[in-house]
Amino acid sequence: MQVSVENTSALERRMTIGVPAERIEAEVNKRLQQTALKAKIPGFRPGKVPMSVIRQRYEADARQEALGNVIQASFYEAIVEQKLNPAGAPAVEPKVFEKGKDLEYVATFEVFPEFQVAGFEGIAIERLQADVADADLDNMLEILRKQNTRFEKAERDAQDGDQLNIDFVGKVDGEAFAGGSAKGTQLVLGSNRMIPGFETGLVGAKAGEERVLNLTFPADYQNLDLAGKEAEFTVTVNSISEPKLPELNDDFFTLFGIKEGGLEGFRTEVRKNMERELRQAIKSKVKNQVMEGLLAGNPIEVPKALLSNEVDRLRVQAVQQFGGNIKPDQLPAELFEEQAKRRVVLGLIVAEVVKQFELKPDEARVRELIQEMASAYQEPEQVVSWYYKNDQQLNEVRSVVLEEQVVDTVLQKANVTDKQVSYEEAVKPAEAPQAA
C-alpha cells in the first residue's frame, strides 16, 4: 500500500492512497465464494452453482462492497501509519477505480490541532470566601415563607402585594385588540406582569369597582403592533385577597420534608442546603475564571467537522428547550457558531490538559460528589447505589470530577487571590462569559 500526505491548510490533510489490485480481487473473490454457498438459482442445487454463473450475477455488487470495505480498512491503516488523528470522516475522491488496476483514491480530512496548553501563570483567579451567617439564614427563612404565601379575602381597598381577581378589556383607537382582554384573571399588584401603570392604577380600588386606565405601551414592547401606542383598559375588580405568610411551625417544616427537630432542626437543614449552594457557587465561579483564562491563553484553530457537529447539537437542544414544530436544521447555523466554537475549543483544551498531566478521575472524589448530591434526597443511600449501578450516570460524574481536577491543576500554577465576601455576593450568578 502506498501513502502520501499533503498539508493543504493548518488542519486539513489530503492523503493519496494506493492499494494493489490483488487485494481488491481477493476481497471480491471472498464475497463471491460466500455468496456461492447460499445462492439459490433455479436448476442448481445450493452450493453447486458454477462460479461463472455466480460471477455473472453477483460480481458487480461484490466488487462495490469490496471497494467500500478496502477503502475503509486502508484509510484506517494509512492514518495509523502516518500517525494522524482525524477530526471527522474523510471526503473520498476516486482516482483509479478500474477492474484489474491498482485502486487509487484521495481522502481529504481535518486533523485535531496539536498544541501544548500554556499560560497557566498568567491566569488571574479571584477565589471568593464566604460563610452562612445567622442573618443570611434568617433571610432565607423569610424567602421560603414568601414563596409559600397564601392569599385570604380582604374587606378593604387594594394595596401593593394584594392579589386581585379582575376582568379587563383593552382597546387601542377604540378597538379591542388580540390578547388585550381577560376574565377572572389573578393579578398580584407589584408583580410587574402588566405594562407600566396597570398595577399601580388599581391600588386603592374596592371589590366590585370598575376603573378605566389610560396607558401607553412601552416603545420596546414585544408586540410591535402595540409598541408605543396609547391604550384604554376597562378593569373590573372582582375580589381582593391579602397575602398571609405561613408560620414557622411543624406544618410548614413538613412541606420541606422535615418532620422532626422543630424550628432548630429546620434551621439546621436549611443551613446545610445553603452551605452546599455556597460551595457550588464558589466552585463554579472559580471554574469559569479558569476556563476563561485557558481560552485567552490558548487560541487554537477549530476543525470544521467538530464545529459543525457542535452546532447541530445546539440546534437540537434549542428545539427541545423551546418546542414548536420547527426542525433543528431549519435554525440558522450562525445563531450557534460562536457558542459552538467556544465549547469545542474548551473541550480540546481540557482534553489536552488531561493528557499533558496524565489525569484520571479520582474515585474517592467521585464517591464524595455522589454522596453530596445524594444528601439532598430523603434516602441518600439509595441514590448512591443507583449511581453505581448505572454506568452512564457514573461516567458523567467521573467527567465532572476530571474537569474539577483540571481546574485544580491550573489553580496550582495560576495567580490566585482570596476575597472575603458576603453569602449573597458569593451565590449571586456570575455574568455570562463573552463568546470566544
268-301: pLDDT as tens digits = 999 999 999 999 999 999 999 999 999 999 999 9
**pLDDT, tens digit (0-9, with 9 covering 90-100), for 144-192:** 999 999 999 999 999 999 999 999 999 999 999 999 999 999 999 999 9
Q: Which of 82, 68, 66, 88 is nearest to 16 (CA)?
A: 82
CATH number (domain holding residue 63): 3.30.70.1050
pLDDT band at 39 (very low <50, low <70, confident <90, very high): confident
Same domain, 274 and 343: yes
Is residue 140 a part of any domain in this protein? no
Same domain, 91 and 196: no
Taking the model in full, what pTM does it have? 0.76
Instruction: Answer yes or no: is pLDDT of 435 > 60.
Output: no
What is residue 97's predicted lDDT score, i.e. its pLDDT? 79
Is residue 98 a part of any domain in this protein? yes
| C-beta atoms surrounding 391 within 10 Å | 9
Grid look-up 439546621 returns: 268
Same domain, 43 and 84: yes
Instruction: Answer yes or no: is pLDDT of 5 > 70.
Output: yes
Q: Which of 299, 283, 314 is nearest to 406 (CA)?
A: 283
pLDDT band at 436 (very low <50, low <70, confident <90, very high): very low
Same domain, 278 and 414: yes
Same domain, 420 and 277: yes
List the domain range (segments joined by +) for residue 168. 150-244
User: CA–CA separation, 258 vs 261, rounded Å?
Assistant: 8
Is 202 buried (19+), middle (13-18) or exposed (0-12) by CB count in 10 A? buried
Residue 82: what residue type? Q
Same domain, 232 and 281: no
**Helices 380-389 & 391-411, crossing angle to 10 degrees?**
100
Q: Which of 33, 104, 42 is nearest to 62 (CA)?
A: 33
Take residue 378 and report the three cell numbers written for it. 430523603
Share of the chain above pLDDT 70, in %: 98
**Between 95 and 406, the higher pLDDT residue:** 406
User: CA–CA separation, 319 vs 330, rounded Å?
Assistant: 10
What is residue 402's predicted lDDT score, i.e. its pLDDT? 96
**pLDDT, tens digit (0-9, with 9 covering 90-100), for 63-82:** 889 999 999 999 999 999 99
User: CA–CA separation, 385 vs 370, rounded Å?
Assistant: 10
Instruction: Answer yes or no: is pLDDT of 62 > 80.
Output: yes
Is residue 435 a part of any domain in this protein? no
Same domain, 75 and 172: no
Is residue 325 a part of any domain in this protein? no
Q: How many domains does the chain have?
A: 3
Same domain, 197 and 222: yes
**pLDDT, tens digit (0-9, with 9 covering 90-100), for 104-157:** 999 999 999 999 999 999 999 999 999 999 999 999 999 999 999 999 999 999
CA distances in angstroms from 154 to 163, 202, 320, 396, 402, listed in the order given: 10, 15, 43, 52, 57
Is residue 321 a part of any domain in this protein? no
What is residue 433's predicted lDDT score, i.e. its pLDDT? 52
Same domain, 235 and 340: no
First to last CA, the chain: 43
Residue 263: what residue type? L
What is residue 432's predicted lDDT score, i.e. its pLDDT? 57
CATH number (domain holding residue 185): 3.10.50.40
Sign, CA dihedral 256-260-266-272, equals negative
Take residue 169 and report the three cell numbers written for it. 378589556
How many CA atoms are closer than 13 Å to the CA of 211, on its beta-carbon side?
19
Same domain, 240 and 268: no
What is residue 79's predicted lDDT score, i.e. its pLDDT? 96
Q: What is the arithmetic mean of pLDDT over 219-245?
A: 95
Is residue 68 a part of any domain in this protein? yes
Is residue 30 a part of any domain in this protein? yes
Task: Please identify, among 78, 110, 142, the residue that sits at the C-terminal boundary of a domain.
Answer: 110
What is residue 326's predicted lDDT score, i.e. its pLDDT? 85
Q: What is the arithmetic mean of pLDDT over 17-40?
A: 89
- Which residue(s) pair with 6 in the sheet? 14
Q: In sequence order, what are the residues at sequence separation of 6 or more whose Cβ sits closer than 8 angstroms to the Cβ of residue 34?
A: none
CATH number (domain holding residue 347): 1.10.3120
- The answer to whether residues 414 and 353 touch, using CB atoms and an 8 Å cutoff, is no
Take residue 326 and report the three cell numbers written for it. 420547527
Same domain, 240 and 181: yes
CA-based radius of gyration for the chain = 34
Q: In sequence order, what are the residues at sequence separation of 6 or more whose Cβ sits closer than 8 angstroms to the Cβ of residue 197?
A: 213, 215, 216
Alpha helices in 298-390 (DSSP H): 304-322, 337-356, 363-374, 380-389
Average pLDDT, the chain: 92
- The answer to whether residues 239 and 248 touch, using CB atoms and an 8 Å cutoff, is no
Same domain, 181 and 297: no
Is residue 389 a part of any domain in this protein? yes
